[in-house]
């Protein structure tokens, strides 16, 4: 589920796609994505805020999500945006936060038509959580603690999700985006 904000009186607007963080949503904490989208519209820039599968108003259960599904959803969103009347498909940007960072980088590397990116406190690698993951794998914590460690903002992740999450590393796809301005 997503919302496309289009500026009034602009016939071929550039557009920014928002990638929220893990267990986040299209609104953002304290409505930050809504506020940014409104500000962009005032400047003649469209934006698309979307809930990834299993998040916010979109279908699916968070526990069924895998990292690659977020990238699939981002690719579908970018296709949707680029096909909209009134959107300049040659001027697409991505704004991403936290876990949305690696999703945005991977999607941009695959989409190949992104002209700018802004990554806000992006995740770069799953390595920083390896110690926690090892506690779970070795059963060094009881089941209740393990369950809590696999919850993100109240959402329960699956062991398969976290196994793949730990392998995330955006260095390689980021290198393919060397010509894309990055903030």
pLDDT tens sequence across 127-169: 877 777 777 777 777 777 777 777 777 888 888 988 898 899 9
pLDDT of residue 142: 77
Which residue in 137, 12, 18, 4 sits closest to 81, CA to CA? 4
pLDDT for residue 129: 75
Query: In the chain, which residues have pLDDT < 70?
Result: none
pLDDT at 159: 84
């Amino acid at each position: 589920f997503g919302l496309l904000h289009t500026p009034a009186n602009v016939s071929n607007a550039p557009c920014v796609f928002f990638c929220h963080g893990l267990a986040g949503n299209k609104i953002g904490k304290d409505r930050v994505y809504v506020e940014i989208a409104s500000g962009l519209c005032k400047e003649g820039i469209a934006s698309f805020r979307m809930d990834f599968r299993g998040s916010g108003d979109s279908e699916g259960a968070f526990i069924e999500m895998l990292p690659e599904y977020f990238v699939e959803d981002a690719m579908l969103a970018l296709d949707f945006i680029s096909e909209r009347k009134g959107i300049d498909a040659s001027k697409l940007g991505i704004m991403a936060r936290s876990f949305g960072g690696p999703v945005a980088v991977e999607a941009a590397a695959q989409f190949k038509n992104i002209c700018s990116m802004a990554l806000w406190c992006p995740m770069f690698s799953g390595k920083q959580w390896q110690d926690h993951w090892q506690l779970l794998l070795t059963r060094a914590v009881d089941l209740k603690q393990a369950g809590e460690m696999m919850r993100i903002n109240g959402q329960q992740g699956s062991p398969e999700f976290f196994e793949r999450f730990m392998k995330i590393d955006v260095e390689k796809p980021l290198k393919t985006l060397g010509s894309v301005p990055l903030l």
